[in-house]
Each structure stands twice: as C-alpha cells, then as structure tokens.
C-alpha cells in the first residue's frame, strides 16, 4: 500500500493537469426541481461538458419530464435512457460504462448526484437511497468521480 501511495519526486509533475483532458459531468435527475437546479449550477462551475441523465420508466412521464426540462432553459442537454423493467440504477451504470469506453485517456467522468437533506435526521432513512447505492457502485471505477450535491430543506 505504501508503495502505491508514495509520491515520486522525479519525473513529470503529478499535480499537473492532464493535457487535452476534459471533465465530462453527468447529472442524474428524476425531475427538474430546486435540487437539480442547484446541482446544474455547480456542474457549470466545474465543466462545460454537462449531460443531464434521466431514466425513463414510463413513456408518458418521460414526455412530461422532457417538456418541463425544455421550459427550464438549463442550457444542458437532457439524455433520456429507457428502462423497460422500471430499473433505475442499471441504465445509469450502463450509460457511464458507455462514456468510459468513448472517453479519451486523459478525460474524467464526474457523476453528480443531487440529494435533498431533510431537517430531521431520521427522515434521511426514507430518502436518497438510490443515490447512496449509485455512489457505492460508481466509487470503485477508475477515473469516475462521484459527488453528492446536498440541498438542505428548511422545513
């Protein structure tokens, strides 16, 4: 472990940004909300290459989400991934895997997971479970950064 963590003193600067690298930001959304708006604002601060990713489990609901997204004027493209079996996580993981295959060697993928934080701690057991599982599954991938963006509810 020490050998792998050791910082070499010779050779290229390990703190230099990779040449020709970019940060592809994926924002997983379920619906345009204040939580998503906050996450998109943050995404725009860290990259110009942003994708909002929506998993469509219902065709009618998907149309409503796309229409609402268009009205929001986010400036961020919405990519809709169909899910025939009402699965949420696997289509997201498949999309990230596809991005990993297509990205250049010096590129990073940052997945932003919008989460709202409840006022009372015990309410947290009821919310954000999908985000927690997604984070756990993505954190083990090389060159994939996973960040949760907390949105604190006032009530």
Architecture of domain 22-129+138-152: 3-Layer(aba) Sandwich (3.40)
Q: Model confidence over 118-155: pLDDT tens digits?
A: 666 665 656 556 777 888 889 888 889 999 998 877 77
**This prediction's pTM:** 0.87
> What are the sequence ranges of the domains in the chain?
22-129+138-152
pLDDT for res 34 = 92
Distant-in-sequence, close-in-space partners of 40: CB < 8 Å, separation ≥ 6: 27, 50, 52, 74, 76
Q: Model confidence over 20-63: pLDDT tens digits?
A: 889 999 999 999 999 999 999 999 999 999 999 999 999 899 99
**CB contact at 8 A, 57 and 88:** yes
pLDDT for res 154 = 74
């Amino acid at each position: 472990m020490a050998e792998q963590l050791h910082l070499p003193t010779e050779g290229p600067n390990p703190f230099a940004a990779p040449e020709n690298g970019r940060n592809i930001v994926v924002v997983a959304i379920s619906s345009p909300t204040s939580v998503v708006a906050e996450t998109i604002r943050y995404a725009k601060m860290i990259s110009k290459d942003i994708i909002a990713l929506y998993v469509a489990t219902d065709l009618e609901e998907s149309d409503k989400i796309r229409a609402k997204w268009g009205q929001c004027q986010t400036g961020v493209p919405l990519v809709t991934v169909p899910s025939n079996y009402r699965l949420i996580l696997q289509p997201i993981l498949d999309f990230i895997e596809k991005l990993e295959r297509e990205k250049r060697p010096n590129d990073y993928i940052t997945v932003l997971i919008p989460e709202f934080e409840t006022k009372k701690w015990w309410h947290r057991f009821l919310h954000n479970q999908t985000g927690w599982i997604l984070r756990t599954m993505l954190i083990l991938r090389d060159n994939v950064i996973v960040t949760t963006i907390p949105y604190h509810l006032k009530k």
